[in-house]
Structure formats: C-alpha cells, structure tokens
Amino acid sequence: IKKILYSFIFYVSFVSQVNAQVTLSSNGPGNTYEDINAVLAPGNNVIEVPDCVHTAFGRHIDEVFDNELNTNVFRFIAHRTPDNDRCQNFDRQRIEIKTYSPSPDNLKAVIGETVEYKWKFKLPSSFQVSPNFTHLHQIKSVGGPLASIPMITLTARKGNPDRIELRYTPTNDQNTIQTADLSLFKGHWVEVNETITYGDNGSYSIVIKRISNGATLLNCNNVSLDMWQDGADFARPKWGIYRSLNTISDLQDEEVLFNDFSIEEIQTLTNKELKEKLDSVRIIPNPSKNSITFKNIQKTDYDAIVLHNSLGAEVKVIKRLKNKKLDVSILSRGLYYIKLVKDKRVIKVLKCLIE
C-alpha cells in the first residue's frame, strides 16, 4: 500500500491542450509562394525549389482545384530533368517547404514541447520512386553537429514491393522503424496525424489514414524515443518531394498534391495549475456499493485507470468504466486505491471504500 501511495507524487506529466495552432491551406491559384511564406515565415522565404535551373517552366509549386476534396490544393511538381537541388546539389531534386530560423517561435519546437503536425497528401497512381530515397516529410534539427540528418523521415523507396518507410535517428545512424506497401497510397488522398514530444526522453506517434474510407495505412503510435539531437537549437518540419537522381532511369516527372498543413503546440500546465486541477479531482459517492463517478476531470486528462485492493493486488477494470463511471458492484467490501495514469505515469491516487 505504501508503494501505491508513494507513486502519487509523480504527477508532473498531466497535460492540458492549449490552442496554438497554425494552418496553411490553399486559397486558389496565384501568389502561391507568397501565401506559403506569409504563414510559415512572414517576410522571409521557406520555399526550396529548382526554379533557378528551370526558369522556362516557372514556379514548381502552384495551386489547383481537386474534385475529390472539392477544394483548392497545393501541387508540388518535380521534373526528371533538368530540376536539381536549388542549383546547389546536382545528384538530387528538392521541391519542399519548411519552417526555419525566421519562422515564429510557435512553429519551431524546443525541448519539453509537444507538437502535433497534420497534413494531407496524394501520390499519383503511376508514382515512381528511387531505390535511394524519395522523401515526402522530414523533422530536422537546426543547429548542432547532427543537423544534416533528419530525426524523422517519411520516404518512399523502390523495392519488392515498393514501400513507404518511416525512418528515425537521434544521432547520425538512421533506421527504418515501420513500413507500408506504397500501392496502398497511390491514387488516394491520405491524412497524417503526427505527434512529437521533444526531448531525450521524448515520444513519437504517427497515423496515416485514407480519407475516402478511413482505412489505416501506417500506424506507429506512442513509441518512447529519444527525440532530441544534442546541440540543436530547435526542430522543424519539412514537406514536399526530395529525391535522389543517382538512378534517374527509375524516375519520371511527378506531381504530388498536399493541403491543410497544421502545426499545433500542446503546452503543459505549470506546477501550480497542475496541483490545483488534481486537488479538485474526486469520486462520488464514497463509500459506494454500485458505481462511482469521477468529478472535475475529463476523459482526455488521463489514459487509463488502475485499481488496487488493500493488499496491493491489481483488480481489472476492463469494461467496467463508461462515461466517467466505474462499476464496483461486484467488488468485495473493503478499501481500494484508484490510480489515474497519463503518459505512463500516475497523476492521481484516490481512496475508495466499497461497502
């Protein structure tokens, strides 16, 4: 029992959702670069494109109307030739947008922050990929010795079968941690929800679903990871087409559609706010015979409830909890301890007497 009660002090991970959301959606053809910059870094340039080498074509990101979504969307255009990486690197092509140093602070992640990224994209039905890399999304550090390698990469790669790879590293040794068949993505709009807690003891999750039917195509959820590269000033997202030209015979001209980019910081409560909120949590009635109700707490405030009897043994609560009510009708009489758990840590312990 002492062990159970002692765990009450570890409630520092209680999270409150505070709205700090920034969204970027297409508003129709014209001024595309200017519209993107106005959201992601006002007065600066977040566009990385090969316009310098392909001036006759013009801008490599524009906006078109999409019949499936019934709205305007961004179109990222990569040509097999002569496009390169901004006239700086000639073994690859880059058509990307990003946040970076001049971006507002709420678009740059630092240690201790939890950030949710959302976006939609559609690959052509005939999409071709390199056996080297065809990146669609990256989370990269700015500053420090490891800034050149992304912490997170969502990339398409030629194989048997062709696949989408989710790659990760906190250092300079990137590894694939999840894959999905690329054919599941081709020709379909998908929506991505990615949540990152930045820090040496951080966490990462991503879910990609097909918009037409809600089918989950890739799910890497609540993985505890080192999500900070030593020496970094901040971390930032990138989206677009970034592909190797080392096997150019595998490639063709491509148009990848994107829309509804969202960056939202989820801020933690201060210690004072946390203590005040947790102090108000209670259960009624207490003592109880049939059911108890949790007061002054929302379902999103905790991940799980763990119930222990007076001897410290865990009592299963599966299917007993519904709408913040816990069925205790079949429990033996005595004293019980109820632990509320958030992010794998105990945030509150409540005592309940069953009559």
Which tens digits make up the pLDDT trace of 119-159? 999 999 999 999 999 999 999 999 999 998 999 999 999 99
Residue with the larger pLDDT of the pair 302 and 168:
168
pLDDT of residue 223: 72
The C-alpha atoms of residue 18 and residue 270 are separated, in whole angstroms, by 12
Match 């990146």 to its residue by tokens: 135
- In the chain, the percentage of residues whose pLDDT exceeds 70 is 89
Average pLDDT over residues 72-85: 98
SS3 201: strand
- The structure tokens listed for 244 are 């190797």
At residue 296 the predicted structure's pLDDT band, cuts being 50, 70 and 90, is: confident
Q: What is the pLDDT of residues 36-54, one digit of tens each?
A: 999 999 999 999 999 999 9
Looking at residue 67, its pLDDT comes to 97
> What pLDDT does residue 272 have?
65
pLDDT at 98 over 80: yes
Instruction: Output the pLDDT for position 184.
Output: 97
- Amino acid sitting at position 259: N
Q: What is the pLDDT of residue 320?
A: 65
What tens digit of pLDDT does each residue of 256-270 get?
999 999 999 886 555
* Predicted confidence (pLDDT) at residue 12 exceeds the cutoff of 50: no
Q: Is the pLDDT of residue 351 over 80?
A: yes
C-beta neighbour count of 346 within 10 angstroms: 19
Residue 213 pLDDT greater than 90, yes or no: yes
| Contact in structure between 240 and 257 (CB atoms under 8 Å) | no
Q: What is the mean pLDDT of residues 199-215?
A: 94
Q: What percent of the chain has pLDDT over 90?
A: 66
Q: How far apart are CA 49 and CA 94, in angstroms?
A: 6
What is the Cα–Cα distance from 66 to 58, expressed in whole angstroms? 21
Q: How confident is the model at residue 348 (pLDDT cuts 50, 70, 90)?
A: confident
Q: Which residues contact 135 (CB under 8 A, 6 or more apart)?
A: 153, 154, 155, 240, 241, 242, 243
List pLDDT tens digits, range 318-338.
Answer: 666 676 788 888 889 999 888
Give the range among 1-15, 227-241, 332-346 with minimum mean pLDDT.
Answer: 1-15
Residue 9 confidence (pLDDT): 30
Angle made by CA atoms 73, 36, 207, in degrees to the nearest 5: 60
